[in-house]
Chain A
């Protein structure tokens, strides 16, 4: 049923990332291991090769390797996330350097606020209240947040955060069908981001011939092609990160990255070797 209108939804990597324009608000998943995997790393390298500039990155809800590479490569002007995590390697090095040197604008948030703002975005409402957080300095520093009195209560202050509607959400998923229905399984925060976004771009490990919407077993884990702009077939598209049950992280490579990225020069050498001189597989 979902086939005919979407025959052009499967595209090359270059065509996929051509939707990512200078200055756009780009939402990316966090890339910590296990349940959080879903970072489109081959697409990220392509974005760096294309020299996209002034991105406003929204980490769902945190930033890791993917954000770090985009920042180090000069693609980012604003970085928004609840936190910065790079497995057991500590704070992502290019991010820390750029943030402390004031080279990027850092919009520090908190993880539940990132999720709630995207939920407001998917509902098409301008803001959302959430409990907790009051008393944290983040409330004072986020000039775009407000504390109001609960209109249904008395003397009950509550935080409001504005909705987030990304221009683009970019994710990597296990598989999609030929009409661009993408299976994301339990990583439903990726669906929330996609619902809130104008454009959603997906790289996948596999393309399957079955219609994923045809039975409930697959359909319940699907991000419907209603929300998907384009899909590109990128086997091992999350490398060097782990990807769900498909492959473990390339720890030796990540160690090498962390060492290289301690300095601008080291990071440039890394880019030369692993990003600029490599071309990604094209489906």
Chain B
């Protein structure tokens, strides 16, 4: 079956979310949004999905602070995050490049991530660009810390990292990433060449599974429509949803 690389990433990311009770996904990230919705659709009602920025996909009646309060209550057990820079201890930088506050490039800031990364049980990192520019030995600024000292209250943290080249798991005890699989058409060498931090490399690294036909049908149907409510430009470009249609579905 033919599929677009974004469709492959959506399906790969969704596999890292399987079994979650309630996934929340942030506001600047169409692929994670689609992956969360796909997990929800494949779960047949067991996984709830909250998408920030969507009116249909949120449960809040007390305002957006409910995202944070419900996360601290343990009601949200999976969250997806991106990262401008990510290092080998799973520290994430969303602030910018350079010595803060004298940044040479300014990104969006901290968002809720320093909080959610600590409190949500399973946080899956997604960054499509797999380069040494992104995967650095040490981030310029720690927006959200991958690990804390043992006495710090921390029920949650990083669990996996999905990129355009492969899938890593994060071992919280050993404080490092472990390569789980390499996407078809790519190699372990390519991952080593393009990763600026050290990670555990098992003797055998399997190839990441292709999306199955059920996942593909959902991505191209229901998920594309739902994503278009929030990310009309992305849906139009990568998932083939016409802008006219997305506007109609918003009313």
Contacts and interface: CB of A to CB of B under 8 A. Distances in A.
Contacts of A34: 53-55, 58, 229-230
Interface string B91-115: 0001100001101101111111111
Interface string A18-35: 000000000000001111
Tell me the interface secondary structure of chain B in the complex: loop
Interface string B48-74: 000011110010111111001000100
Interface in B24-78: 27-28, 52-55, 58, 60-65, 68, 72
A190 interface: yes
A260 interface: no
A131 interface: yes
Nearest to A98: B106
A245 B229 CA distance: 13
Contacts, number: 154
B153 A158 contact: yes
Contact of A33 (B68, B100, B106, B230): B230
A96 B118 contact: no
A110 B27 contact: no
A203 B53 CA distance: 22
Interface in A52-110: 61-62, 81-85, 88, 90-91, 96, 99-100, 106, 108-110
B182 interface: no
Nearest to B103: A100
A135 interface: yes
A110 B113 contact: yes
A186 B233 CA distance: 27
A56 B113 CA distance: 24
Tell which of B107, B110, B142 has the most Cβ of chain A within 10 Å. Answer: B110
B231 interface: yes
A182 to B, nearest CB: 15
B141 interface: yes
A5 interface: no
A135 B87 CA distance: 14
Contact of B110 (A32, A100, A110): A110
Interface in B213-251: 229-234, 247, 250-251
12 contacts: A33-B53, A34-B54, A82-B112, A110-B115, A111-B64, A111-B111, A113-B115, A116-B68, A131-B115, A131-B153, A135-B148, A187-B63
Given A108-B109, A131-B153, A135-B142, 8 more contacts: A33-B53, A82-B110, A82-B112, A88-B234, A112-B112, A135-B118, A137-B95, A137-B141
Interface of A: 32-36, 61-62, 81-85, 88, 90-91, 96, 99-100, 106, 108-113, 115-116, 119, 130-138, 141, 155-158, 186-192, 245, 248, 251
